[in-house]
Structure 1
Amino acid sequence: MSKSKLPIVPVQACSGSPLVREPLTGSAAAELASVFRALSDPVRLRLLSAIASRAGQEACVCDLSEGIDLTQPTISHHLKVLREAGLLESERRASWVYYRVVPEALQRLSNVLLVESGTVAGVAS
Structure 2
Amino acid sequence: MSNVKALPLLEPDVDPAVEPCCPPLTERPLTAEEAVRTAAMFKALGDPVRLRLFSSVASHQGGEACVCDISDVGVSQPTVSHHLKKLKEAGLLTSERRGTWVYYRVAPSVLAAMARMLGQYAP
Give the TM-score category using the shorter length. Answer: 0.7 to 0.9
- The code of the aligned residue for 1:34 comes to A
Q: Offset at 1:114?
A: 1.4
Written as runs of structure 1 = structure 2, the 5 A alignment for 1:79-98 is 79-98=84-103
Q: 2:66: which partner in 1? A: 60
- The code of the aligned residue for 1:84 comes to E
Q: Offset at 1:116?
A: 5.3
Distance 2:80 2:58 in 1: 16
Gaps of 5+ in 2: 1-25
Written as runs of structure 1 = structure 2, the 5 A alignment for 1:96-115 is 96-115=101-120
Q: Offset at 1:22?
A: 4.0
- The code of the aligned residue for 2:29 comes to P
Equivalent residue in structure 2 for 1:37, among 37, 43, 52: 43
User: Secondary structure of the equivalent of 1:30?
Assistant: helix
Max Rg structure: 1
User: Secondary structure of the equivalent of 1:99?
Assistant: strand
Equivalent residue in structure 1 for 2:56, among 50, 53, 67: 50
Q: Offset at 1:23?
A: 3.4
Q: Offset at 1:110?
A: 1.4
> Size of the alignment, in residue pairs?
98
TM-score where L is the length of structure 2 = 0.72
Q: Say which structure, 1 or 2, has more relative contact order (CA 8 Å, 6+ apart).
A: 2
Distance 2:120 2:64 in 1: 29
Distance 1:92 1:71 in 2: 20
Aligned Cα root-mean-square deviation (Å): 1.7
Gaps of 5+ in 1: 1-19, 120-125
